[in-house]
Amino acid sequence: MTKYKQSILVRKDLKLPKGKLAAQCSHASLEAALKTSKSKLKEWKQDGSKKVILSVNSKEDLINYKLKASKLNLKTALIKDAGKTVLKKPTLTCLAIGPDKEETINKITKKLKLLN
């Protein structure tokens, strides 16, 4: 059976505090989900709306993974924080990919580690 998931890549180098991190991931998750077709959202929900939070090391990583995802026609949401609170200037913080077929997303993100 085809499985669906959403991967959210977060910059570890920013060392975001927990609340900021959770808000940024929520922005990314929602924005990418709203770009996704209703049929895919339904499949994803049936798989428990699986979300995986992964760690990357830099702004460049986020941009590169966005390009790779777009080449596979995956929906993405790249989030830029306005830089008015914890961060002092506008900053790319995270990237959501999907929800889409797990095997397609894994082609891009399989080497990334879970954020811990």
Does residue 23 interact with a second copy by CB under 8 A?
yes
Q: 116: which residues sit within 8 A by CB, 6+ positions away?
A: 55
Does residue 75 interact with a second copy by CB under 8 A?
no
Does residue 91 interact with a second copy by CB under 8 A?
no
Q: Which position among 2, 13, 22, 46 is part of the footprint of a second copy (CB under 8 A)? A: 22
Does residue 47 interact with a second copy by CB under 8 A?
no
Stretch that binds a second copy, among 46-54, 58-66, 67-75, 104-112 (CB under 8 A): 46-54
- Interface residues with a second copy (CB under 8 A) are 8, 10, 17-23, 25-31, 33, 48-49, 51-53, 55, 82, 114-116
